[in-house]
Structure 1
Amino acid sequence: MSLFKTNTQPDSIHGILEGMVAKAGTRPTVVAPGIARRALQECNFQGQRKIQRNRQMRHERCIREGRWHPEVSTISFARTPDGALHLVNGQHRMAAIAGVGSATPTKIEIIAAKDIDEVRRLYVMYDEPGSSRSDNEALIGINAPENLGLSNRVTAALFRAVALLLNDLEPMGPRDESLEARERDVRLSEMPDWAEAAKTYAGFVARADSDIAGKMLTQGVMASALYTIRYQPKLAKEFWGGLAENDGLRRNDPRSRLLADFRNRDTTNGNIRQRVQRVAVAWNAFFVGKDLKIIKCIEGGRIVFKGTPKGRGG
């Protein structure tokens, strides 16, 4: 049963789709090419990426060769209280139906959304197995960089970092019972809480050379940095600002050792937990004012960042 009353006319594409779904219920409904074209033109979510022709053609071949299964996937619209429908999932399948030029059965669902922000959240929740929209496409599609006041690159890095921040700086294991950090909508809702720290960190990153800047925006490093900025903003400015500028750092300065670690290791491969640990080793030495000759991680050791809620080992 609809949660909102539709204000659309019966002959509008919104009204036509509502009628089709009401008649079909949970069964597939037959979508004519003209309806598919109108849905794409009049109902497509405003943040949608451009249609990828190869994906559309793959769906078209399935329809022409009789391999199309209307029960397998569902085309999804979100309905806002004004009665407008927004296509949030199935753009390429709709384009394929329009492209083949023949009526095609498929399932359609209409989900009630309280506002356009909820429509955006629904949009980023949908992924097609084996060919999912990228995180960057989703973030740009919902105007996340503009809303957070960050560049596209920093917004994407923040999205990745939030997964660790949600999980107490621990990577999600395959058997981890808490899936919260994996969910796009949960991570998106958490991003504004870290936006100011991310802006501060982006200022530090801008001072670094391109290679180090890239390392600073990797998941484990950025999550560690945002955590220290939140709980030790003054010291974090010295640590991350000094690391980025690298202006005459002594050889055994913890920041210098971390820079050397960045240059000598690939921060995008291997154990994510160790990437966080390496930052923690440098931070902890800097926090207590000690020199650091080598960054060494203990397998399975507790992640500790002195001066923060994770300030004690075990």
Structure 2
Amino acid sequence: MEKFDVHILGCGSALPTTRHFPTSQIVNLRDKLFMIDCGEGTQVQFRRSKLKFSRLNHIFISHLHGDHCFGLPGLISTFGMLGRTAELCIHAHQDMSKYLDPILDYFCQHLPYKVTLIPFETKKPELIYEDRSLMITTIPLKHRIPCCGFLFEEKAERNHINREMIDFYQIPIYQMNRIKNGENFITPDGDIIPNSRLTFPANPPRKYAYCSDTIYNQKIIEQIQGVDLLFHEATFTQSDLPRAKETYHTTARQAAQIALAANVKKLLLGHFSARYEDDLIFLQEAKEIFLKCQLASEGLYINV
């Protein structure tokens, strides 16, 4: 099975602590790297992950609060000092230009590569990236400012060839693509060999959903239904529910309720408030609702 990993660079919320960095993640799909959010300290954590800077060409920013984007200028500058030449695409709300353009004009006037802002809307799902193996779609969220999560969907692979059967029926090479695409084989004598005898089914495509800052929002359930891994913010515990509502955040219990309703395979909790000294309180609360959950932590990586 091809590589599809999520690396946690930071999982804290607005106030950095000695335990957590602000939010940032790397999705590694077949050695293509995609960054989600870029809080302070992201490039340091990126180095610690031992992932290759040169394989990162796309950064996705969920919203324009500092704990999700203050690390961008430093990372962009570092790429320049490393002699990067490949274009860097930043996918974000259109207001990103108001923040980033003046900084780049002042500090990064002579970058050896191009930084391109690709804006997206946050009110409805939108396909914002696609290649041969992956689609990335926005997940509209409810926060104090425009905000969205991201759904990473692996594209379905073609069936795998059963080499023994191919050799047995002496099927010519030029027929291989048709067989992979699901066609039967007709022998010179007119016998029909069903495709199911000639191939093995491909692995089902995997899905990863990232839901950053949001108030409890049942509208996302349909879009994230059945994903292999869901990252959902859990800034507060249920004892601080009034504060969660006031700041448009979610409790660990509410994140678990979303995971249960969406029938996800695994829940990853993050974006922890600095007011709590022990993260286990989040896990204990969530597991009362949804057992298959785990706490995010810096340096953690999970295979989707």
TM-score range, shorter chain: under 0.3
Q: TM-score, normalised on structure 2? A: 0.20
Q: Would you tell me which structure has more helix in proportion to its own residues?
A: 1
Bigger relative contact order, structure 1 or 2 (CA pairs below 8 A, ≥6 apart): 2
Q: TM-score, normalised on structure 1? A: 0.20
